[in-house]
A and B are shown apart, each in its own frame.
Chain A
Amino acid sequence: MNVRAIFALVCLLIFSPGSVGAQGFAGLGSETEGFALPEPNPEFIFPADHGAHPDFRIEWWYVTANLEGPDGEPYGIQWTLFRTAVRPDEAESWSSPQVWFAHAAATTRTGHYVTERYARGGIGQAGVTAAPFSAWIDEWEMSGESVASVRLTAGSSQFAYDLSLEAQGPIVFQGEGGYSVKSDEGQASYYYSQPHYSVAGTLTLPEEGEIAVTGSAWLDREWSSQPLSERQTGWDWFSLHFDSGEKMMGYLMRQTDALPYAVSTWIDREGVATLLPVGALSAEPVEHTSVAGRKVPTTWRLQLPERELDIEVAALNPFAWNDTTFAYWEGPVFADGSHAGRGYLEMTGYE
Chain B
Amino acid sequence: MNRVAFAALLSYWRCHPVQLAALVVGLALATALWSGVQAINSEARASYAAAARAIGGDDRPTLFPIQGQSIPVETYVSLRRAGWLVSPVIEGRLEVGGERFRLIGVDLVTAPPPALDADALETDVDASDTLGTPGRLFAPRDLAGRLTQSDLPPVVVAPELPAGIVLADVGVVTRLLDREASLDRLIVLPDQPLGRPPLEEIAPELEQRAPGSQEEVARLTDSFHLNLTAFGFLSFAVGLFIVHGAIGLAFEERRSTFRTLRALGLPLKRLVSLLAVELFAFAILSGGLGMLLGSIIAAALLPDVAATLEGLYGATVDESLSLRPAWWAAGLAIAVVGTSLAGAGAMWKVANLPALAAAQPRAWARASERTLWLQAGAALALIAFSGALAIAGSGLVAGFTLLGSLLLACALLLPLWLSVCLHLGRQMASGPISEWFWADTLQQLPGLRLAMMALLLALATNIGVGTMVQSFRLTFTGWLDQRLAAELYVEAEDAQQAEDLVAWLQPRSEAVLPIWSSELRLFGAPARVYGVVDHQTYRENWPLLAFLPGVWDRVEAGEGVLINEQLSRRENLSPGDPIRIDLWETRVAGIYSDYGNPSGQVIVGINELTRFDNLDRRDFGIRTEAPAELERALREDFGLASDQIVDQDALKRMSQEIFERTFSVTAALSVLTLGIAAVAMLTSLLTLANLRLPQLAPVWALGLTRKRLGLLELARSLLLAVLTFAAAVPVGLLLAWVLLTVVNVEAFGWQLPMYVFPSDWLTLGALSLISVALAGLWPAIRIATRPAADLIKVFAHER
Contact = CB atoms under 8 A, between A and B. Distances in A.
Given A3-B130, A86-B131, A138 B73 contact: no
B131 A97 contact: yes
A30 to B, nearest CB: 13
B110 interface: yes
Interface string B114-150: 1111110000111110111100000000000000000
B783 to A, nearest CB: 71
B77 A123 contact: yes
B427 interface: no
B186 to A, nearest CB: 12
Contacts of B170: 94
Interface stretch (B79-87, B214-222, B323-331, B617-625): B79-87
Nearest to A159: B194
Of B108, B114, B192, which is in contact with the most chain A CB atoms at under 10 Å from its CB? B108
Nearest to A27: B126
Contacts of A28: 126
Interface string A87-112: 10001011111010000000000000
Interface residues on A, range: 35 or more
Interface string A192-212: 000000000000100000000
Contacts of B125: 6
B613 interface: no
A95 B114 contact: no
Interface in A1-60: 1-7, 9-10, 24-28
B193 A3 contact: no
Interface string A122-139: 011100000000001011
Given A93-B171, A139-B82, A5 B118 contact: yes
Contacts of A136: 81
Interface in A113-170: 115, 118-120, 123-125, 136, 138-139, 155-160
A84 B647 CA distance: 56
Given A3-B130, A91-B132, A125 B194 contact: no
Given A1-B119, A118-B109, A94 B174 contact: yes
Nearest to A89: B132
Residue from A4, A94, A99 whose CB has the most chain B CB atoms within 10 Å? A94
A28 B113 CA distance: 24
Nearest to A126: B80
B181 interface: yes
B107 interface: yes
A157 to B, nearest CB: 4
A179 to B, nearest CB: 27
B80 A93 contact: no
Interface string B160-187: 0000000001111011000001000000
A4 B113 contact: yes
A278 B81 CA distance: 43
A204 B192 CA distance: 15
B171 A94 contact: yes
Contacts of B81: 124-125, 136, 138-139
Contacts of A6: 118, 125-127, 130
Nearest to B107: A120
A159 B113 CA distance: 23
A28 B127 CA distance: 10
A238 B128 CA distance: 32
B170 to A, nearest CB: 6
B20 interface: no
Contacts of B130: 3, 6
Interface string B740-757: 000000000000000000
A158 to B, nearest CB: 8
Contact of A3 (B73, B82, B85, B118): B118
Contact of B115 (A3, A10, A91, A93): A3
A344 to B, nearest CB: 23
Interface string A64-91: 0000000000000000000000110001
B54 to A, nearest CB: 11
Nearest to B125: A6
A28 B125 CA distance: 12
Contact of B194 (A99, A118, A204): A204
Contacts of B82: 139
Contacts of A138: 80-81, 83, 85
Nearest to A122: B171
Contacts of A159: 194
Contacts of A91: 132-133
B126 A4 contact: no
Q: Of A3, A9, A91, which is in contact with the most chain B CB atoms at under 10 Å from its CB?
A: A3
Nearest to A120: B109
Interface string B76-119: 11001111010000000000000000000001111111111111
B265 interface: no
B643 interface: no
A4 B108 contact: yes
Given A97-B132, A118-B109, A156 B193 contact: yes
A123 B73 contact: yes
A95 B171 contact: yes
A125 B186 CA distance: 14
A95 B133 contact: yes
A7 B127 contact: yes
B550 interface: no
Given A93-B181, A138-B85, A120 B127 contact: no
A159 B194 CA distance: 7
B639 interface: no
Contacts of B194: 155-160, 204
A25 B115 contact: no
Contacts of A125: 76-77, 80-81
Interface string B191-204: 11111000000000
A1 B74 CA distance: 28
Nearest to B173: A94
B195 A157 contact: no
A291 B53 CA distance: 33
Contacts of B124: 24-26
Contacts of B133: 91, 95
Nearest to A93: B181
A114 to B, nearest CB: 12
Contacts of A96: 132
B114 A119 contact: no
A87 B132 contact: yes
Contacts of A2: 108, 111-118
Contact of B127 (A86, A93, A115): A86
Which 7 residue pairs of A and B lie closest in terms of their CB atoms, listed nearest first? Answer: A94-B171, A86-B128, A6-B127, A139-B83, A2-B113, A3-B108, A157-B191
Given A94-B174, A125-B77, 18 more contacts: A1-B118, A2-B108, A2-B116, A6-B118, A10-B128, A86-B128, A86-B132, A94-B169, A94-B172, A95-B175, A97-B132, A115-B193, A119-B110, A124-B81, A139-B83, A139-B193, A156-B194, A160-B194
Interface of A: 1-7, 9-10, 24-28, 86-87, 91, 93-97, 99, 115, 118-120, 123-125, 136, 138-139, 155-160, 204
14 contacts: A4-B111, A6-B127, A7-B109, A86-B127, A86-B131, A94-B131, A95-B175, A118-B110, A120-B109, A138-B81, A139-B193, A155-B83, A155-B194, A157-B194
